[in-house]
Amino acid sequence: MNFFRGVMGGQAAGPQPSGAETKYRMEVGTQAMDHLINILQTDRSDSEIIGYALDTLYNIICSDEEEEQDENTQKQVDDLGAQFTDHFIQDPEHLTLLLTLLEEFDFHVRWPGVKLLTALLKNQGPQVQGVILVSPMGVSRLMDLLADSREVIRNDGLLLLQQLTKSNAAIQKIVAFENAFERLLDIITEEGSSDGGIVVEDCLLLLLNLLKNNSSNQNFFKEGSYIQRMKPWFEVGDDNSGWSAQKVTNLHLMLQLVRVMVSPVNSPGATASCQKSMYQCGLLQQLCTILMATGVPADILTETINTVSEVIRGSQVNQDYFASVNAPSNPPRPAIVVLLMSMVNERQPFVLRCAVLYCFQCFLYKNQKGQGEIVATLLPSTIDANSISAGQLLCGGLFSADSLSNWCAAVALAHALQDNLTQKEQLLRVQLATSLGKPPVSLLQQCTNILSQGSKVQTRVGLLMLLCTWISNCPIAVTHFLHNQENVPFLTAQISENLGEDERLVQGLCALLLGICIYYNDNSLENYTKEKLKQLIEKRIGKENFVEKLGFITKHELYSRAAQKPQPIFPSPEQMLFDHEFTKLVKELEGMITKAVHKSSEEEKKEEEVKKTLEQHDNIVTQYKELIREQDAQIQELKEQLSSMTSQNEQMQATMTQQLSQIQQHKDQYNILKLKLGKENQNQGEGSQVNGMQTEELTQLREDVEELRKQNALLQTQLDDKDALINKLRSEASQTAEGSAGGSDGAQLLEELEALRSQLQSQSAELNQVKMERQELLRRAEAGSSNPENDGSMDGAKMAELESRLTTQLTEMERLKAEAKSSTESRAELEQQLASSTSTVAILQTEKAKLETAVQESKKEQDDLLILLSDQDQKIFSLKQRLKDLGESVEDEDDLDAKDDDEEEEDDDEEED
């Protein structure tokens, strides 16, 4: 009976079922599952019985037993749950029904429904995900669980969404676009961020599901400015002792979230964008603070180092910032130096030393500036005896008694030379003082000395990887290496011997190093030219044996593991043999070295000739490129000069126009002053004047009068022509005025022509009067030239009046000319209208009918437009009213008109004042 209550009522109090009672799970599930599903379909109105049915189905499908079971029993339980799950989801309608029940707010329905669906997803995730994905609003219904005010449902909803989003990118995208990031970050903040409980952990696990290997969601997370909201997670105080296990778990997951956004497997553009955002919002600075803080748990410190590594990897700005970080010590030391001290310290945890190596590698990745700074600490001119530098730590680790320190230091130094020819050549200058009384030895020679001493495999592998990286693609370094007479015999001896399994990797690396000496040999040493080295291989080793030994590298079981990811992850220190970047170098060089060894001297010569030809061709191309660049620069410079000269020309044109205007103004002012001066001199009666006028002015007046005479004669001729034309038009218009559509126009034109004729006659008479008065004035002026006592003041005034009238008459004459021209054009049009009057009437009637139709259509369109305008006015009025209700100031058009009128009145008042 207790078992029945436990199955049918999950919330019933009492002891948990015993192991014997749970064995009835198969019988209950086999016989009752179909009936329970039928209850869900038929008894929707009874929430209590629905809750019991959901609880029972959950207990059948999922076993919550906590007691320990042997492996076989647990497998049987899991198989039983999978069988019942298959039976339940066999009909997709059952899942659709369950999703519908989750919309019920009743606690006794919603909570068991959430647990049942979670169990189904655990047992048969892909099948259940497929049904939910095609169900209308299926994911949206489940997202509503995060907004439930009851924490138990919200928390179980988090577990449900974790199962739902596993390995399903489509569902992950839907959940993300259902505002999941906002809700989850809010819950994390409400629960206390890193100090929160298990709910924070569940939220972080769900965020990891949504973002890991999902570029779309990662971009959505970055574009939504959610990276900035991660910064407060990593705020730590001065006292970091006594962290709870839950806080450690939470921070570990938070650091993983940061790494997901900047993982090296993401697209370079997306990673760079996230790295930039993390620097700008201060997240990188916050992580570096944790890095240098005291009391931080070791696993959190290790994960923080790995996180900082990927935040700075390949980002110049972030790498520069990391180089500037100092540890809070006295005196302050660079963070890089402090980390390297941990890497070469054999007492530090293995995972921490691996993390520091990864951080150093990421700091130098595509960072030639950083590489130069590290190598510079090894050069004699920059060594400071009073402080510990990165170079000193690397050299110390390279030659220490700890093989792991040897390997880590060798790999770190190799990354300082990666793809950087300058630093490879600079490192050749490094000299080491091995012991008192002995001359210093070069770093290159010391590495080969340690190799020949037969140290541990891990140490020799590290040194060989360093040497291969160092002399690769650097002929000068190859020459330095070959200059030591003991190096080549040592390599050939190592390759040719038949050693044990552990030594095969060393043999392969020795073959690679010797092959690099052949491929990048510039033949500057007579005893070790390319050809002589190949002959040596053929005699001492054998070409086929050499190639076979070279292939030992890529066939090693740890090679493929290191080639997968940049981060050095090894189960134990002994398995720490290969570096990720070195695997790329091996892949690049293996084929080229194999071909170089098998090539004959003739083929070498041909290749050298082809290489020289290509180099010459490249030089020619380079010269042409330089020439083109110079010409482009010259063209660009000429364009700039042209643009500048064009601008100057425009400025000069504007200046010239302004100056011409000023000159004209000065001329006008000069003429005015001249007239004023003439009037003043007139009263003084100087001998050079005749009745107030100078001789030049009289000459000009005579010429003007003569011109007016010609114009008058021309106008008189035009008037006669117009009279004849008017008489002709009058007779024609009287004949066609009654029957033509243009009769009224002709009559109107005759009236206009008659008025024009009257005006011309009046103007002509007035012009004759002016001419007579001017002639009289000239006569008097000539007569007065012999009688200086004549009173000229009245004649001068008369002359001015006549000049004014003359100007007015000339202006009027020009206007009359224009009107006469217009009348001529009107006459031509009238003649055409009269000639086609009969056809015009018919055309006009047709056009009238068309116009009437068009008028009706236009009237209809106008009515429609008025209706639309009325609706628009109503909408505008309602929108203005809403703006007023929201407290916004709105001015009506009437108010604006009134305001404009007030401003105009104020302007008028100011003008009057």
Amino acid identity at 571: P
Other C-beta atoms closer than 10 Å to the C-beta of 423 total 21
Residue with tokens 């691996």: 354
At 152, list the tokens. Answer: 């138990």
CB of 323 within 8 A of CB of 336?
yes
- The pair of three-digit structure tokens given for residue 624, joined into one six-digit string: 């042409």
Strand-pairing partners, residue 333, are 327
**Pick from 234, 239, 229: nearest CA to 251:** 234
Which residues of the chain fall below pLDDT 50? Answer: 1-21, 66-68, 685-694, 736-743, 781, 784-794, 896, 913
What confidence tens digit (pLDDT) does each residue in 47-102 have? 899 999 999 999 888 865 544 455 555 566 667 888 888 888 888 898 999 999 99
The CA dihedral of 492, 493, 496, 502, to the nearest 10 degrees, is -110
CB 363 within 8 A of CB 319: yes
CB-CB contact of 305 with 359 (8 Å): yes
Closest CA to 284 of 327, 328, 234, 245: 234
133-190 pLDDT, tens digit per residue, is: 988 888 988 999 999 999 999 999 999 999 999 989 999 999 999 999 999 999 999 9
Q: Phi and psi of 690, rounded to 5°? A: -125, 105
- In contact, 177 and 218? CB cutoff 8 Å: no
Cα–Cα dist 330/269, whole Å:
40
**Neighbouring residues of 413: CB distance < 8 A, sequence distance ≥ 6:** 394, 398, 466
The partner residues of 334 in beta bridges, in order of sequence, read 326
Distance from C-alpha of 813 to C-alpha of 455, rounded to nearest angstrom: 121
3 state DSSP class of 229: helix
Tokens linked to 768: 């004759």
Distances in Å between the Cα of 55 and the Cα atoms of 62, 83, 222, 268, 307 are 10, 18, 41, 49, 44
Supply 299's token pair.
């696993």
Distance CA(524)–CA(474), nearest Å, equals 13
**Residue among 750, 754, 752, 755 nearest 834 (CA):** 750
160, amino acid identity: L
Coil, strand, or helix at residue 442? strand
pLDDT of residue 477: 95
Distance CA 609, CA 601 (A): 12
Return the closest-CA partner of residue 482 out of 446, 440, 527. Answer: 527
- The tokens of 896 are what? 């604006």
DSSP code at position 498: -
Cβ(111)–Cβ(91) under 8 Å? no
Cβ(312)–Cβ(360) under 8 Å?
no
- Residue 116, token pair as written in the block: 């049942």
The phi and psi torsions of 457 (rounded to 5 degrees) equal: -60, -45
- pLDDT for 253 equals 96
Residue 571: exposure state from Cβ atoms within 10 A (0-12, 13-18, ≥19): exposed
Sequence-separated (6 or more) residues with CB below 8 Å from residue 550: 508, 511, 512, 515, 590, 593, 594
Q: Map residue 365 onto helix, strand or coil.
A: coil
Domain boundaries, the chain: 403-611
CA distance 256 to 263: 10
Phi-psi region of 216 (alpha: psi -120 to 50; beta: other; left: phi over 0): alpha
- CA distances in angstroms from 141 to 99, 174, 176, 208, listed in the order given: 7, 12, 14, 21
**How many other CB atoms are there within 10 angstroms of residue 803's CB atom?**
14
Q: Tell me, what's the pLDDT at 309? A: 96
pTM for the complete prediction?
0.65
Secondary element (H or E) of residue 157: helix 151-164
Residue 720 CB partners (closer than 8 Å, separation 6+)? none
DSSP letter string, 749-776: HHHHHHHHHHHHHHHHHHHHHHHHHHHH
CATH of 403-611, one of 3.40.980.10, 1.25.10.10, 3.40.50.720, 3.40.47.10: 1.25.10.10
Spatial neighbors of 258 by CB under 8 A, at least 6 apart, are 230, 278, 283, 287, 307, 311
Number of H helices, E strands in the chain: 40, 6
Ranges assigned E (strand) in 219-260: none
Residue 521 CB coordination number (10 Å):
21
| Other residues' Cβ atoms within 10 Å of the Cβ of residue 551 | 14
CA distance 27 to 587: 61
The rounded distance, in Å, linking the Cα atoms of 294 and 447 is: 37
Residue 414 in contact with residue 582, Cβ under 8 Å? yes
pLDDT given at position 597: 86
Name which of 70, 68, 66, 61 is nearest 37 in CA terms.
61
CB contact set of 134 (below 8 Å; sequence gap of 6+): none
Angle at 282 between CA 279 and CA 285, to 5 degrees: 85
Residue 789, H or E segment: none
